[in-house]
Structure 1
């Protein structure tokens, strides 16, 4: 989870002013607040999350302690490919997450035949990733969702209209999955070059190479 730090600073001559920090990971924010408190010149220290909800230091520490045994700091990369000749779609997703003080990478792909376009394949790849998050029991957490499909991400953020009926149905499926799990998506568009892992998985699926793996990473 990312938060901002909000506090009031009081000088030796009792002059006061308010500060709001940049957004940062909650663990880093806790360390900074503990350091700020040592000065004895800060008061009304609070944290504000991405939904503008306030947290006290005690509440945020309790939250961070509680999620250590569950997957957190989650990043999802997705990609879909469509073969016009075979009318087959390759779906790929890579999920990075932390749990119990360790970092992990999960990779998953799938070959499907009921789709009709590359954009549908992109949506289906994201939906595949959300099903993997469901298996990991990820819920009520922010999740970074990253892909090279401007269509999918801009439609899900509301930047672009979703006029095609099939894509609209896929968008509803994705949003339903997110809502059911209480996941707060943080969408980011990247270049295809920076989405190589998910792209490779989608390509391998089109070649009928099935991959499901999970490993600890440094």
Structure 2
């Protein structure tokens, strides 16, 4: 989850100016807030998360202790592949997250049947990634989704319409799962070159190579 700070900066003569920070990770936001308080030049210091919820400094300290023990700072890459000769789809997902003071990566794939084309495989891949988050116990967190399926991401943002009935059902299922996990979701289209990890996992699924690994990162 990202946070921003707002406070009144005290000027000479008793006047004050409302100041707003950039979006920061929780630890940086807290350190910044403590520095403002120590300086004695800020008042009415308030923290806001991306959903608009607000905290004072004391509440923010308690919140971050609680959040630290849960999976957070979540980044998800997803990709889907399709083999028209076998009517099989490969779904790939890579999840980066923090828990405690450690960073982790999950790499996972799945072979899926009965999809119609590569487009549908992209929706299924995102839905699969959400199922992995559900298994991880992610809830009420900020989560960024990255993929080269621009149509999927733009439709989830509400920027593009979806006319195909089968794809619309996938969108409904994806949104239902996001809402069920109470995620604050951000969607970032990337190039295929930037999505190599998830693409490789999808291809490996089509080759019959099942992968599900969790690794602590240095």
Residues 72-112 of structure 1: per-residue CA shift (max 9 Å, x gap): 11111100011122211110000111112111100110111
Aligned to 1:182: 182
Aligned CA-pair RMSD:
1.0
Mapped partners of 2:18, 2:100: distance in 1 = 36
* Local SS of the residue matching 1:12: coil
Give 1:119 deviation, angstroms.
Answer: 1.4
Aligned to 2:85: 85
Mapped partners of 2:204, 2:41: distance in 1 = 58
* Local SS of the residue matching 1:95: strand
* Local SS of the residue matching 2:108: strand
Aligned to 2:132: 132
Structure 1 consecutive aligned stretches of length 4 or more whose deviation exceeds 3 Å: none
How high is the TM-score relative to the length of structure 2? 0.97
* Local SS of the residue matching 1:82: strand
* Local SS of the residue matching 2:29: helix
Contact in 1 for aligned 2:50/2:184 (Cα 8 Å): no
* Local SS of the residue matching 1:161: coil
Contact in 1 for aligned 2:148/2:191 (Cα 8 Å): yes
Aligned to 1:171: 171
* Local SS of the residue matching 1:105: strand
How high is the TM-score relative to the length of structure 1? 0.97
Aligned to 2:58: 58
Number of residue-to-residue matches in the alignment: 218
Mapped partners of 1:103, 1:179: distance in 2 = 25
Residues 141-190 of structure 1: per-residue CA shift (max 9 Å, x gap): 11111111101100111010011001100001111111111111111111
Instruction: Report matched runs for 1:27-38 at 5 Å.
Output: 27-38=27-38
Aligned to 1:112: 112
Aligned to 1:194: 194
